Amino acid sequence: MRFTLGQIPGRPNNAIKTSVIVIASQILFVLFIDMADCATFDNLPTLYQYYTAGGIKTGLSDNQTYFTLNNKNITLFSGALHYFRVPKVYWRDRLRKYRAAGLNAVETYVPWNLHEYENGVFDFGNGGSDFEDFLDVVQFIELAKEEDLFVILRPGPYICAEWEFGGLPSWLLRYENIKVRTTNKQYIEFVERYFKKLFELLTPLQFRKGGAIIAVQIENEYGNTKYGNKPVETAYLEKLKELLMQNGVVELLYTSDTPTNGFSGTLPGVLATANFQEGATHELTLLKEFQPNKPLMVMEYWTGWFDHWTEKHHTRTAEEFGKVLEEILSFGASVNMYMFHGGTNWGFMNGANIDDDSFDNRGYQPDITSYDYDAPLTESGDYTDKYYKTKDIIAKHNKIKVRQPDMPASTERFAYSSIHIISELSLEDLVEQSKVLSTDKVLPMEMLPINNDSGQSYGYIVYRKNNLNISKNSTLKIEGRICDSVLVLINGQLKSRILKSKEDFEGFGYWKLQNGSLNLGNEEYKNATLELVVENWGRVNFGKLYQFNQHKGLWQGNLLLNDHVLTIDQIIPLEFKKKWNNGLKNWKVPIFESGPKLYKAILNVDEPKDTYVDMREWNKGFIIINGFVLGRYLRLGPQQTAYLPAPLLKKGENELLVFEHFSPSKQIKFSENLIF
């Protein structure tokens, strides 16, 4: 069952209310109609009324083989929704879609790297970072309650999640001996400070205090021994448990891992839950054997899957998805569907995997910007067959009759007409407007003395040598690996190759090649400027513990010119922060030559609508909308379009910038749909 835009599924006879909602939906979802009173079960209690009738005496209990909440039976039908991956304006819409599918809970991670974006500087909404509009976690949890959903909280501090560095702040890497995800004193001190701030806000939102949070996770897949987290430091999990309790967490604590990987990531007396996609009966049987007297919960039932750049887009049929969901619920387990709605890895926030045994970066695989995940709701919030499957299956298994809203109408999308590039800034123009640090040392971005001594977290870093004589047929060598890609320029002209195929990642310019060298050609240069523009393509979120100490830029060895060590003169951080992007000046008439440049176009909008930016005519880079870095693109795919939601647009002129590494197009196109 699919329906077209503007059409409301649900009661067809509710014509007046329906038309009101249709109009409202066309004015963007900024306006919300209280749908509770047009719900199908008007006379039923809400979920909250049902579970809190007679007063709140206790929370979610795992004291028997089934869950109770406030001493009433409950099966959790939960879905993951990461507030930081969805525009705030759409939180209510997505949450209502969850509830309308019959879900009674929403699960979210909490990204430390966004909330403490500089060492000791916090943002929980309106905190001044580029992501402030995505960070009001308190509001998100309150909205979840308003939409009649319980909340399962996964505060990390490590969250994996295909998110940059698994949600850890990059400034941790400034401390030479820090060991993240361990009892390392320095690391724990930072966790302590962050948890104090976070839980000051969140503990009042716990169920027993009248809020929505019913359970809190300790760390994340800490027992993933299959991927080399050995030795698992149980003391670290104990420490986190202690910290949560010290900070006033009173709701149910649990850990989350895949049973077939063993139970080394569990704690005595703390509920263990399961993560998997297939083999539900096998996984749940192992979990039951491990803790026979506790309820069963699948904390991550993977509805689809994510993609790395250059992979084929992963999909999973609704039938396969439904079969396993049915198997889980028939087994008597509760479930959290990961993801029920994936959203977007905005800006530079994609994570990466490491897929081999090397201690360095060779097996690095960055994730795409879309986190569509082939989930029941698409990246832009559309219903899919998996959504309807979920709704049917939950209706069949749910024994608790409470009020449920009708399905909200879909949000309209629009393919704007193509827009032309009107101006450009060369790398030199960008550097002129940046902070230029004088140094002869090749440092990784995290170690730069900027951002209140938090270093550079994201974006690009330029290493520059001035007044250099380069003889004909010279060879530039970079010892070690590049983290993660480099463009080589002499006097502003691109000397490294234009990316054509994924095999190019094995050659000079990319992380896979160790000690890569580049022939600089047959020209001779006097007093030249040599620039190495290095891209941070997203830090690893999933790999072995020792792989978590990952710096970005150049730092693994020397630079050599014809086998002689080459010192540098300057480092220029290109962070592409919103304020800086919006203040860029000296735009030139575009000449569209190869090499890294920033291009500008203006999108005129009457009424902002969701759209996708179609980047199929471009090669590699990222997009900026009204100063905010929207996401990356790559012609090699799989993702070809970038979700641009209406809340990031405004009436009138919108500035769209494209930073292209290699070969620009003269226009930017739009599409109504996500194209893989």
In the bound complex, which residue of the shown chain has the CB atom lying closest to ligand NAG? Answer: 120
Q: Which is nearer to ligand NAG, 526 or 579 (CB)?
A: 526
Q: Which is nearer to ligand NAG, 251 or 535 (CB)?
A: 251
d(CA 606, CA 79): 35
| Angle at the Cα of 40 from the Cα atoms of 34 and 46, rounded to 5 degrees | 65
Residue 525 amino acid letter: Y
Q: Which is nearer to ligand NAG, 176 or 563 (CB)?
A: 563
CB of 68 to ligand NAG, least distance (A): 7
CB of 533 to ligand NAG, least distance (A): 18
Residue 404: helix, strand or coil by DSSP?
coil
Q: Which is nearer to ligand NAG, 40 or 73 (CB)?
A: 73
d(CA 298, CA 273): 6
Q: Which is nearer to ligand NAG, 8 or 476 (CB)?
A: 476
For the chain, first and last CA: distance in Å? 23
**What does the radius of gyration of the chain's CA atoms come to, in whole angstroms?**
26
Q: Which is nearer to ligand NAG, 66 or 587 (CB)?
A: 66
**Tell me, what DSSP letter sits at residue 118?**
B
Cβ-count burial 488-506 (b if 16+ within 10 Å, e if not):
bbbebebbbeebeeeebbe
Q: Which is nearer to ligand NAG, 291 or 611 (CB)?
A: 291
| Cα dist from 100 to 29, 392, 406, whole Å | 16, 11, 6
DSSP 53-99: TT-----EE-SSSS-EETTEE---EEEE--GGGS-GGGHHHHHHHHH
d(CA 311, CA 661): 20
Q: 460 - beta bridge partners?
A: 535, 574
Which of 130, 173, 649 has the alpha carbon at shortest distance from 447?
173
CA 579 to chain CA centroid, Å, is: 22
CB of 651 to ligand NAG, least distance (A): 33
By annotation, the residues acting in catalysis are: 221, 300
Q: Which is nearer to ligand NAG, 58 or 317 (CB)?
A: 58
Q: Which is nearer to ligand NAG, 39 or 218 (CB)?
A: 218
CB of 645 to ligand NAG, least distance (A): 29
Structure tokens at 224: 């993933």
CB of 515 to ligand NAG, least distance (A): 4
d(CA 159, CA 154): 7
Judged on CB neighbours under 10 Å (0-12, 13-18, 19+), 146 is middle
CB of 66 to ligand NAG, least distance (A): 4
Residue 451 amino acid letter: N
Q: Are 149 and 47 in contact (CB under 8 A)?
A: yes
Q: What is the CB neighbour count within 10 angstroms for residue 189?
A: 10
Q: Are 190 and 254 in contact (CB under 8 A)?
A: no
Judged on CB neighbours under 10 Å (0-12, 13-18, 19+), 606 is exposed
Q: Which is nearer to ligand NAG, 40 or 519 (CB)?
A: 519
CB of 525 to ligand NAG, least distance (A): 9
CB of 498 to ligand NAG, least distance (A): 22
Q: Are 460 and 533 in contact (CB under 8 A)?
A: yes
Positive/negative CA dihedral, 479, 432, 133, 198: positive
CB of 120 to ligand NAG, least distance (A): 3
Report cis status (omega within 30 of 0) of the bond before 484: yes
d(CA 252, CA 151): 12
d(CA 321, CA 278): 9
Query: What residue ranges bind ligand NAG (CB under 6 A)?
Result: 58-59, 61, 63, 66, 73, 119-121, 452, 466-467, 469, 473, 475, 479, 514-515, 526-527, 529
d(CA 147, CA 144): 5
CB of 529 to ligand NAG, least distance (A): 6
Residue 321 amino acid letter: F
